[in-house]
Structure 1
Amino acid sequence: MTRSDSRADRTDGPDVPEPNPHATAEQVEAARHDTKLAQVLYHDWEAENYDEKWSISYDKRCVDYARDLFDATVPFSVQRQLPYEHALELGCGSGFFLLNLMQAGVARRGSVTDLSPGMVRVATRNGRNLGLDIDGRVADAERIPYDDNTFDLVVGHAVLHHIPDVELSLREVVRVLKPGGRFLFAGEPTNAGENYARPLSTLTWRVVTNVTRLPGLTGWRRPQAELDESSRAAALEAVVDLHTFSPGDLERMARNAGAVEVSTATTEFTAAMLGWPLRTFEAAVPPGRLGWGYAKFAFHSWIALSWVDNNLWRRVVPKSWFYNVMVTGVKPS
């Protein structure tokens, strides 16, 4: 069976859908009843500012971070045989995971797909700016528009929890992998982690947007039109985040999809408790208001807590309590 589709949207073709970066209230309301429309609207909305919102970069900081996720999940024997020849990122967003993995020597050539035209546009642009061999298509993760046995590696970051039928998507991933090819999905929210990270983010947003109404603090407040737009985006965020997982959930679905050598790892405990409020605070104040000193504080604080998580809490806290879960597996050869 193959799924190569000549009608699949490409970033360089004449029929590529135009991104819609400013959804109306009516479109947001319609998207509440159509999860895939919600995915497109929300991610088109966020595409041009996504890297800034999530402190994404394509320098050593995020190259090392992406490679650390890969190394924490994939066996050392595989790491010694890098790079993979051709890798696909599913639900690529701005290309953060694959582009940084390519810079880290994990893959030579890359393809990116996303349901959002805006995200595919940004990801391929980022790849070109980095001088990487990258191409992109607008595509549904439940129907990947590539032939069987095409890729040596499939990756994704914070994508599975957006997909309605995760197991169907994993079957597609296994299909497009070459025999012996590997997949790695990272950045998926755990059941337990969502119970502390999301409430902290919501509380931070409410505090910042109310405190900045006070006299003398209005310079720290975004224009009301931007805040209203962010609130509509937040309403969509509640629609596009479909799942949380336990490590066992992902292992079971990966095996059901036909993968072997399946395993999971988890990251971020106290680091997530800090990271979510900090990122929300950054999104709630005007761009450029915080400065380099704040950026250094946020990054080094997150690094310090990640070290504590990996070297202390991992010894005493159950694996499932960490915020992010990663899963890897192999297509039988």
Structure 2
Amino acid sequence: MTGRPDDPAPNPHATEAQVQAALADNKLAQVLYHDWEAETYDDKWSISYDERCIAYARGRFDAVAPNAVLPYERALELGCGTGFFLLNLMQSGIAKSGSVTDLSPGMVRVATRNAQRLGLDVDGRVADAETIPYEDETFDLVVGHAVLHHIPDVELALKECLRVLKPGGRFVFAGEPTTIGNRYARRLGQATWKVTTEITKLPFLQGWRRPQEELDESSRAAALEAVVDLHTFDPADLEGMATRAGAVDVHAETEEFAAALWGWPVRTFEAAVPDEKLTWRYRMVMYRAWLGLSWLDENVMRRVVPRQFFYNAMLTGVKPGASGR
């Protein structure tokens, strides 16, 4: 349930010199940034391993691969983070056992710890998605969430996915930013951060301000985030990459338009204020608003807004050979 003994140790407190070096070394930046975020990542993004996130993860899978034959025997997650996607998919019945990989030792440690707590059959390795350290035809399913946009050579990573998949095996990736969606989401987030951190300087709102050292650390993390986010995607371009990598039955979907316009300012505001100000009632109101806007996206906006304007892209493909699942 833990990483391999020869995996590097997490480094959650990068020095200024290391951060400066990472600005010129993308993979070092990936490790430092995600080690930095690992222990607080679930809280930052409201990730859980209960009915709410199980339904969310399963919904993403079903949206792009509705006809998959379940369950898969063994699944691999690339760029696992804290294990959000695979662990919740396993709880929903998508796969019986799994492996999680990430460049960040800190993320692998948290993901395997989460799996152990949930009683899931999962092992973990520190690994590069461009050189997956497993034998050919090891897995029945490869998944990832918000990972392709961090990988320098996406097409190479997709080829690696196909290599480690058994014939007829499937990959499913979700949570990838579209080019247009990322543009408006970033601008909304930056504006919200600036307004919130400036307004909370007022004397009667200082109780809503995080300590300056926490805000400074968030700003340093944001500087690395700009380095580790390498790509945005047009859905058609994603389909082209997967096809060139050798996949068949390739298909991309998109989601979140109104929900993204709402969600990015909300998440940014929450990152800028003390946790104790965000009551359970507040969180439920925000969550229900997001659900309502997601319903609007699915039932109204999808019919009138081109798919490339939605924020999240999802991609699936199958390894040629036996019948796809």
Does the alignment pair 1:172 with 2:160? Answer: yes
Give the counterpart letter for 1:303 in structure 2: L
Count of equivalent residues: 321
Give the 3-state SS of the residue equivalent to 1:235 in structure 2. Answer: helix
Match of 2:199 in 1: 211
Supply the distance in 2 between the matched residues of 1:40 and 1:115 (Cα, whole angstroms). Answer: 6
Match of 2:189 in 1: 201
Q: CA deviation at 1:288?
A: 2.5
Q: CA deviation at 1:243?
A: 0.2
Q: CA deviation at 1:40?
A: 0.3
Supply the distance in 2 between the matched residues of 1:157 and 1:86 (Cα, whole angstroms). Answer: 17
Supply the distance in 2 between the matched residues of 1:11 and 1:32 (Cα, whole angstroms). Answer: 30
Match of 2:312 in 1: 324
Supply the distance in 2 between the matched residues of 1:13 and 1:84 (Cα, whole angstroms). Answer: 24
Supply the distance in 1 between the matched residues of 2:236 and 2:320 (Cα, whole angstroms). Answer: 20
**Contact 2:70–2:95 (CA under 8 A) maintained in structure 1:** yes
Does the alignment pair 1:73 with 2:64? Answer: yes
Does the alignment pair 1:305 with 2:266? Answer: no
Match of 1:51 in 2: 42
Q: CA deviation at 1:12?
A: 4.1
Supply the distance in 2 between the matched residues of 1:31 and 1:298 (Cα, whole angstroms). Answer: 35
Q: Which structure 2 segments of 5+ residues have no match?
A: none
Supply the distance in 2 between the matched residues of 1:44 and 1:159 (Cα, whole angstroms). Answer: 15
Supply the distance in 1 between the matched residues of 2:59 and 2:17 (Cα, whole angstroms). Answer: 42
Match of 2:277 in 1: 289
- Per-residue CA deviations over 1:119-158 (Å, capped at 9, x if unaligned) read 0000000010011001000000000000000000000000
**Contact 1:11–1:138 (CA under 8 A) maintained in structure 2:** no
Supply the distance in 1 between the matched residues of 2:6 and 2:74 (Cα, whole angstroms). Answer: 25
Among candidates 233, 241, 249, match of residue 253 of structure 1: 241
Give the 3-state SS of the residue equivalent to 1:264 in structure 2. Answer: strand
Does the alignment pair 1:90 with 2:78? Answer: yes
**Contact 2:3–2:126 (CA under 8 A) maintained in structure 1:** no
Supply the distance in 2 between the matched residues of 1:258 and 1:240 (Cα, whole angstroms). Answer: 27
Among candidates 18, 31, 38, match of residue 40 of structure 1: 31
Segment of structure 1 superposing worse, 313-322 or 19-28: 19-28
Give the counterpart letter for 1:18 in structure 2: A
Q: CA deviation at 1:177?
A: 0.2
Give the counterpart letter for 1:156 in structure 2: G
Supply the distance in 2 between the matched residues of 1:14 and 1:114 (Cα, whole angstroms). Answer: 15
Alignment of 1:149-168 (within 5 A): 149-168=137-156
TM-score (norm 1): 0.95
**Contact 2:252–2:315 (CA under 8 A) maintained in structure 1:** yes
Give the 3-state SS of the residue equivalent to 2:275 in structure 1. Answer: coil
Segment of structure 1 superposing worse, 212-221 or 233-242: 212-221
**Contact 2:4–2:125 (CA under 8 A) maintained in structure 1:** no
Q: CA deviation at 1:14?
A: 3.0
Among candidates 103, 118, 121, match of residue 109 of structure 2: 121
Supply the distance in 2 between the matched residues of 1:286 and 1:21 (Cα, whole angstroms). Answer: 21
Alignment of 1:214-233 (within 5 A): 214-233=202-221
Give the 3-state SS of the residue equivalent to 1:58 in structure 2. Answer: coil
Match of 1:187 in 2: 175
Q: CA deviation at 1:215?
A: 0.4
Give the counterpart letter for 2:83 in structure 1: G
Give the counterpart letter for 2:28 in structure 1: L
**Contact 1:19–1:117 (CA under 8 A) maintained in structure 2:** yes
TM-score (norm 2): 0.97
Give the 3-state SS of the residue equivalent to 1:148 in structure 2. Answer: coil
